[in-house]
A and B are shown apart, each in its own frame.
Chain A
């Protein structure tokens, strides 16, 4: 009985030990970067989210565990630590890997439709709408003089009827 009690107290201890050990191991797998100031750290994190991994196409370099993403993270860290600005680091990457590495594409003749497309769509829709409304209005106004007189008469009649 005493022994069982001992085991019962041991199990939570063992579990706790396991948890501490494993959390330690998983932490060791995350690269540790040290920065001189908070601004550099912020720039680094923004950049790793913004830069796309060329090997693992739909991940940024912060998310990807590919060898190349690690290299790019290290390079980004190195450049940020040298005091380079966000734009300078992005330019460095684009010069080597092309615009593919950017998750926010620049405006170029090939990408202009990303901005103009929706705009054109809205303008086109508005034009169609305006034309439709104009047509409808024109239709409602289609009474000739005789019909107009008749309408006025009917309205007057109606007014009288409701008064009395």
Chain B
């Protein structure tokens, strides 16, 4: 009796150790990247904004463009090498019929237009966020980032880093298809 209790008390630190080890090892084994943060805006509507079209400074858009159908909002810039790597994949997704809105983030308008002409333009609408105003409100902390927005204009997910075959098929396609 006494021995049994003794064994049990001695087991307590061991159990705590196991719980701690599992807690620490799970993200390691899953390969989750601590530099990829969850967006604070998941479940919320896209913040209000007024931004110019990248091709035409007289044309302005506001948050109403995110309603009506599910879509991706891709944040990119010409100073971002990963965006260059990602661009081909965006073209591919656009060809498959995905509705993608582009947001050019803290960039030069001329360079951005040249980029879109040279590499093809996968975006249905291209916003020009020179000051990073919408970027700040969206909590953008680097480029590229891609927001998944449902037909009600609600942000459902934010992907940090480039879109490619692997991440799209492993994870993002399911999220996209789950959206209404």
Contact = CB atoms under 8 A, between A and B. Distances in A.
Interface of A: 54-55, 57, 67-68, 71, 75, 94-100, 124, 128
Interface residues on B, range: 10 to 19
Interface in B21-68: 34-35, 37-41
Contact of B37 (A54, A95, A128): A54
A59 to B, nearest CB: 13
Which applies to chain A's interface (DSSP): helix, strand, loop or mixed?
helix
Which applies to chain B's interface (DSSP): helix, strand, loop or mixed?
loop
Given A94-B40, A96-B40, A71 B9 contact: no
B119 to A, nearest CB: 23
A98 B142 contact: no
Contact of A71 (B12, B35, B136): B136
A55 B39 contact: no
A55 B141 contact: yes
B136 A95 contact: no
A75 B38 CA distance: 21
B139 A75 contact: no
A51 to B, nearest CB: 12
A68 B141 contact: yes
B34 A97 contact: no
Nearest to A121: B16
Nearest to B106: A67
